[in-house]
């Protein structure tokens, strides 16, 4: 097998450590614990972001509700003013029409 540049041994001649089940178990446990910690951190961030988003949504919803109410009140006021102007115009037209006697 080819030599690795800068090394004096070939890959075939490299010694491997003997397999120790207790060390393997410790390593697997360490990796699993690290994974659990990373998952906890990720969940914590997700929860925090979800709360922030919910607060922003509730605030936006409240603004929309207030705006809707204001627009509704202004619309009703405009319709009322238009109706009153229409009735006033109708009354002024009626005042100009001479009454005919009924037979």
Residue 63, domain member (yes or no): yes
Residue 59, domain member (yes or no): yes
Number of domains in the chain: 1
Are the CB atoms for 39 and 48 separated by under 8 Å? no
Euclidean distance between CA atoms 40 and 79, whole angstroms: 57
Which domain does 58 fall in, by range? 28-95
Closest CA to 14 of 28, 4, 25: 4
Segment 8-13 long-range contacts (CB within 8 Å, at least 24 positions apart): none
Could you report the per-residue pLDDT of 46-74, keeping only the tens digit for each? 999 999 999 999 999 999 999 999 999 99
Confidence of residue 101 (pLDDT cuts 50, 70, 90): confident
Look up the pTM and report it.
Answer: 0.49
Euclidean distance between CA atoms 3 and 12, whole angstroms: 9
């Amino acid at each position: 097998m080819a030599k690795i540049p800068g090394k004096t041994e070939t890959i075939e001649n490299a010694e491997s450590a003997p397999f120790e089940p207790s060390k393997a178990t410790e390593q697997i446990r360490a990796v699993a614990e690290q994974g659990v910690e990373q998952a906890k951190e990720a969940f914590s961030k997700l929860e925090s972001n979800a709360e922030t988003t919910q607060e922003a949504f509730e605030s936006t919803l409240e603004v929309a509700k207030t705006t809707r109410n204001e627009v509704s009140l202004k619309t009703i006021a405009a319709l009322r003013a238009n109706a009153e102007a229409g009735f006033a115009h109708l009354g002024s037209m009626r005042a100009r029409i001479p009454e005919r006697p009924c037979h």
